Amino acid sequence: MASMDTRKKLIAAAERLFDRHGFTATGMDRLTQAAGMSSRTLYKHAGSKTALMATVLAEREKRFMRRLDVSSVDALFAELEEWVRVEGARGCLFLRAHGETGGETPEVEAVVVAHKEAFRERIAEIVAADIGEDAPALAEQILVLYEGATAAAIYRGQEAVSAARAAAAVLVGRARP
């Protein structure tokens, strides 16, 4: 089925442009060109620009969450190092979408909120698996370190991730019975 290739090409091109140049700054003509398809085909698959944004974020959520299938905090940050190495560091695309839309676009906002909630729960699970018990306060600290590494890596690169990883090791070590 060629429509699956078309859809994949479209989402990949859209994610790349949204991530590298911003959502609002990326025009649909630029998108059709990058995706190698006519605007008619693009709109048949995407529906609208807003829907495309939501779809891109939903697909990214899957790809991101797949990376979070770990059972220790150190492995969590090792995965983030890998992510930054492979994809570069341009900040959390979900928070960027939230910021660009002012949180006023329901289709986008729903995906962002769902992602952040799933992300938070996954962090709590990883922390619990690592130290052998629930530790909500520690989980919140690890979440902050993760967000901080993601944001700071924009201008500090891998050094930010390494620092977060080292700090997390100290905090987890202290909490382990």
Q: Which stretch binds DNA (CB under 7 A): 20-28, 64-72, 88-96, 147-155?
A: 20-28
The verdict on 2 binding DNA (CB under 7 A) reads yes
The identity of residue 82, as a single letter, is E
Window 24-63: contact mask with DNA (x via CB under 7 A): x-xxxxx-----xxxxxx-xxx--xxx-------------
Sign of CA dihedral 161, 163, 169, 175: negative
Sites for its own copies among residues 136-165 (CB under 8 A):
137, 140-141, 143-152, 154-156, 159-160, 163-164
Structure-token match 């995706």, residue found: 35
Q: Which is nearer to DNA, 101 or 150 (CB)?
A: 101
The verdict on 21 binding DNA (CB under 7 A) reads no
Smallest gap from residue 1 Cβ to its own copies (A): 34
Contacted by 36, from its own copies, DNA, none: CB < 5 to 8 Å by type: DNA
Which of 44-51's residues contact partners 24+ apart within 8 Å by CB, and which partners?
45/3, 45/6, 45/7, 45/10, 46/10, 46/14, 50/105, 50/107, 50/108, 51/107
The answer to whether residues 176 and 131 touch, using CB atoms and an 8 Å cutoff, is yes
Q: Which is nearer to DNA, 2 or 170 (CB)?
A: 2
How many amino acids of this chain bind DNA (CB under 7 A)? 21
Nearest to 15 by CA among 4, 5, 26: 26
Alpha helices per DSSP H over the chain:
2-21, 28-35, 39-46, 49-67, 73-87, 93-101, 106-131, 136-156, 158-175
Among 40, 86, 170, 177, binds its own copies (CB under 8 A): 170
Which tokens is 65 given? 């969450």
Instruction: Give contact residues for its own copies (rule: CB under 8 A).
Output: 20-22, 24-25, 90-92, 95-96, 98-102, 104, 113, 116, 120, 137, 140-141, 143-152, 154-156, 159-160, 163-164, 166-167, 170-171, 174
